[in-house]
Amino acid sequence: MPSAGRETVHVEVDSERRLISRSPVLQRVIRQIEQVATADVSVLITGETGTGKELVARLVHKLSHRAPRDFVAVDCNAVAPTLLESEFFGHERGAFTGADRRRVGVFELADGGTLFLDEIANLALEAQAKLLRVLQERAFRRVGGGGLIRSDFRLITASNADLASRVRAGAFREDLLHRLQVVDIHLPPLRERREDVPLLVSYFIDRKRLLLKRPGVSRVSHEALDLLVARDWPGNVRELENVIERAIVECPGEMIEAAHLVLGAHSGSGQLPAEDMGLPFRAARQRALETFESLYLLSLLRRCQGSIKKVALHSGITTKHVRTLMKRRGLSRRDFRPLRRRSPRAPVTSGTQQR
């Protein structure tokens, strides 16, 4: 895996998806994933919707010794409470009305591999108790079955909710949380790594344009990119991907313009994020200054096509100061040089991320 630093980090998760970042905060997460993957302990992945929690879970599995075996994913939101026990444990034929054949549950399917439970906070307390018992005993019985089945799986869970708050509210078992949270990987929201937005935009264009029958679309205008970088992205990387996908469809030429972007009402301008309002004054001011610094620097580097001298002249600061700011934000002027025009029939090379 590439090492983190000033350079852009590209990590291939599978043939279709990558993690890509120049952000120091996400690169720290990637280093944490490398360390955790080989430890074979339970992992809890937290973060807002759309930050890429399942992608991280798949990467942990890929880098572990369990990679040759199955990665079994279950969305706890998508399973009806009445079917949850059958989904987890499996059932024998005739165990209940409609059980016309034996079913193997996910605990059994994940034997030797990794079981990923997404949105774990939505499990009912009764289901939490049963999951805890399986984790303690590493054995279970199918619904309607008598034989004890043993399964050796690694458990990775994910939640966009604060599980500690759920524990205090009596909606989540504290003993289960301790079992799940041997290692906690927190994914930052996209608004905290704005320097990654141009990278992600380029990646999504490369990845989507041929699939959407728009091979000529190859770049984004300065005005459109400014809007994308300035947005707070409440839906994070998933929302950005959807916006770029629609823009590619709407774009009649090679350049995506601001008019092709369909953005929601939450633009990220005019108000501090709610979490910043809860900070002390100095901390909130520092966060706002960091956001301004990133946006200002990114905008000028794009407009000056990566020329540090032009950025310095325009902003009224020295070239040394510009380089210091770029180093602090993990930016390289290579990323802002003009894109070479590619033939519509040229093969597409992947560069980036997440779901």
Domains and CATH numbers, the chain: 24-186 (3.40.50.300), 194-336 (1.10.8.60)
- Summarize pLDDT for 289-339 with one digit per residue, the tens: 777 777 778 778 877 888 888 888 887 788 888 888 888 777 777 767 665
Q: Which residues on neighbouring strands pair with residue 46, listed in sequence order? A: 159, 186
- Summarize pLDDT for 230-240 with one digit per residue, the tens: 889 999 999 99
Asked if the model's pLDDT at residue 345 lies above 70, the reply is: no
Asked if the model's pLDDT at residue 54 lies above 80, the reply is: yes
Query: Given pLDDT bands bounded at 50, 70 and 90, which one contains residue 272?
Result: low
Rounded Cα distance, 307 and 321, in Å: 14
Question: To the nearest whole number, what is the mean pLDDT of the chain?
Answer: 85
- Positions of E strands within 79-204: 90-91, 103-104, 114-118, 139-140, 149-150, 154-159, 183-186
Least reliable range by pLDDT among 170-174, 258-262, 296-300? 296-300
Asked if the model's pLDDT at residue 30 lies above 70, the reply is: yes
Contacts of 206 (CB under 8 A, 6+ apart): 348, 349, 350, 351
| Res 12: pLDDT | 93
Q: Are 19 and 11 within 8 A, CB to CB?
A: yes
- Radius of gyration of the chain from Cα atoms? 23
Q: What's the number of CA atoms in the CB half-sphere (13 Å) around residue 114?
A: 27
Asked if the model's pLDDT at residue 85 lies above 90, the reply is: no
Least reliable range by pLDDT among 55-64, 90-99, 119-128, 205-214? 90-99
Could you tell me which of 99, 71, 37, 26 has the C-alpha nearest to residue 329?
Answer: 26
Rounded Cα distance, 149 and 141, in Å: 6
Two tokens at 23?
């952000």
**How much of the chain is helix, strand and coil, in % rounded to 5?**
45, 15, 40
pTM: 0.76
Q: What's the rounded mean pLDDT across residues 202-215?
A: 93
Task: Count the Cβ atoms, other than its own, within 10 Å of residue 280.
Answer: 8
Q: What's the rounded mean pLDDT across residues 151-173?
A: 96
